[in-house]
Amino acid sequence: MKDFRGKVAVITGAASGLGREFANTAAGLGMKLVLADVQAKALEHATEELLLGGAEVLSMVCDVSKGSHVQELADSAIARFGQVNLVFNNAGVGSGGLIWENSEQDWEWVLGVNLWGVIHGVRVFTRVMLECAARDGDFEGHIVNTASMAGLLTPPAMGVYNVSKHAVVALSETLYQDLRLVDAPIKASVLCPYFVPTGIAQSHRNRPDELAADERITPSQMAAQLLTEKAVESGKVTAADVARITFDAIRDGRFYIYSHPQALQAAEERFEAIVQGSQPADPYAATPQVTDMLRAGIKGRR
C-alpha cells in the first residue's frame, strides 16, 4: 500500500503506546480511523485529540479477546466507512515470572488478549477485506499483527508472554502464506518490537476482575515485573519511531518489522541452536546482568 489517503485503518489497543502512535501516523496520512480499546477514558481522550486534528474517527470500547466484540467492531467499521484497508491487531498485555508459577488466570488473560485477540482480528477482518476486494477491483488491504522479539526468542521468566507472541508470529507467517495461496490483494506483516517506552509494564491496569491475579506475587513475578519496568522505561526507540518504521514497512510491503534490528543476533543464535540440535541459546548472552538481576530477585536478594 503506497497511498493511504482516504483509506480506513482499524487499530486495536489504540488508546495507548504503539496503537496511539499508529493512529497519529495514520491520521497524518489522511486515513479514516477505527479505534478499539478496553480503556474507555483513554480511548475517549485519544478520539477527542484526533477529531480536533481533523481526522474522521469511529471509536469503540472492545475487548479483543472476545470474538463477538471484534465482529461488532468490523460491522461498525463497514457501516460507517464502507471498507477496511489496514488492520493493526495490536492490543497486548504482559505477565512474567517462572513458567510453572503462572496461574491459570495469567494464561487465560495473556493468551486471551495477545493470541485470541489476533486470531479474532485475522478471522474477522481478513474475510471483511476479501469481501471489499470482491466489490472493488482496485482494493488494497494490509494486516499488521503486533508480536514482539519475545515471539522469536524465549527469554526466561516471560513464558506466558513468549508463548503468546511465538503463536502470533506463526499465525502471521501462515496468514502470509495463505493470502499468497489465493492471490489476495491483501498483505500481511508481523511487528516484532524490542523494549519501547509505553504502558506495557502496567498492563495489569486493564486486567479484568474475572481473571484477577493471585494476591500472592511470587519473587520471580516481582523480579520479572521490575525488569520489564526498567527495560521498557529505558528504551531509546520511541513508540512514534515504531509507528514510522511500521508504516515504512507497509509502504514497502515488508513482512517482518523490527524496531531494534541489533536484537536479531539473539534470534540468529536461537535458530543456530535449533539447526545444530544443541541446547537452547541464552537470549541474554549479550547482557548477563539481566540474568543476574532475575536470579537475585528470585532468591530475594534484590
Ligand X SMILES: NC(=O)c1ccc[n+]([C@@H]2O[C@H](COP(=O)([O-])OP(=O)(O)OC[C@H]3O[C@@H](n4cnc5c(N)ncnc54)[C@H](O)[C@@H]3O)[C@@H](O)[C@H]2O)c1
Specify the residue, 176 or 195, whose C-beta has the smaller distance to ligand X: 195
Interface residue with ligand X, options 85, 102, 148, 172 (CB under 6 A): 148
CB of 134 to ligand X, least distance (A): 29
Q: Which stretch binds ligand X (CB under 6 A): 95-103, 197-205, 246-254, 266-274?
A: 197-205
Specify the residue, 172 or 203, whose C-beta has the smaller distance to ligand X: 203
* Residues within window 262-301 making contact with ligand X, judged by CB under 6 A: none
How far apart CA 177 and CA 167 sit, in angstroms, is 15
DSSP secondary-structure letter at 112?
A: I
How far apart CA 284 and CA 167 sit, in angstroms, is 21
Q: Which stretch binds ligand X (CB under 6 A): 16-24, 47-55, 100-108, 282-290?
A: 16-24
How far apart CA 98 and CA 13 sit, in angstroms, is 27
Q: Determine, following the binding rule CB under 6 A, whether residue 71 of this chain makes contact with ligand X.
A: no
Please give the grid coordinates belonging to residue 98.
517462572
Q: Does the CA dihedral 10-15-19-20 come out positive or negative? A: positive
161 a catalytic residue: yes
Per-residue binder mask for ligand X (CB under 6 A), 84-123, x = binder: ------xxxx-------------------x----------
Specify the residue, 81 or 88, whose C-beta has the smaller distance to ligand X: 88
DSSP secondary-structure letter at 238?
A: -
| Inter-helix orientation angle 239-252/17-28, to 10° | 50
Q: Determine, following the binding rule CB under 6 A, whether residue 199 of this chain makes contact with ligand X.
A: yes
CB of 54 to ligand X, least distance (A): 23
Q: Which stretch binds ligand X (CB under 6 A): 52-60, 123-131, 190-198, 213-221?
A: 190-198
Q: Contact at 8 Å (CB) between 171 and 285? A: no
Helices (H), ranges, the chain: 17-28, 40-52, 67-81, 104-110, 117-135, 159-181, 219-233, 239-252, 264-276, 288-298
Specify the residue, 127 or 205, whose C-beta has the smaller distance to ligand X: 205
Which three-class secondary structure string do you get for 11-24? EECCCCHHHHHHHH
CB of 281 to ligand X, least distance (A): 20
How far apart CA 66 and CA 74 sit, in angstroms, is 13
Number of neighbouring beta carbons within 10 Å of residue 271: 11
Specify the residue, 57 or 200, whose C-beta has the smaller distance to ligand X: 200
Element (H, E) at 35: strand 32-37
Per-residue binder mask for ligand X (CB under 6 A), 19-58, x = binder: x----------------xxxx-------------------
Q: Which of 161, 176, 194, 258 is catalytic?
A: 161
Interface residue with ligand X, options 10, 15, 129, 152 (CB under 6 A): 15
Interface residue with ligand X, options 141, 156, 159, 193 (CB under 6 A): 193
Q: Contact at 8 Å (CB) between 172 and 165? A: no
The binding site for ligand X (CB under 6 A) comprises 12-13, 15-19, 36-39, 62-65, 90-93, 113, 146, 148, 193, 195-196, 198-200, 203, 206, 232
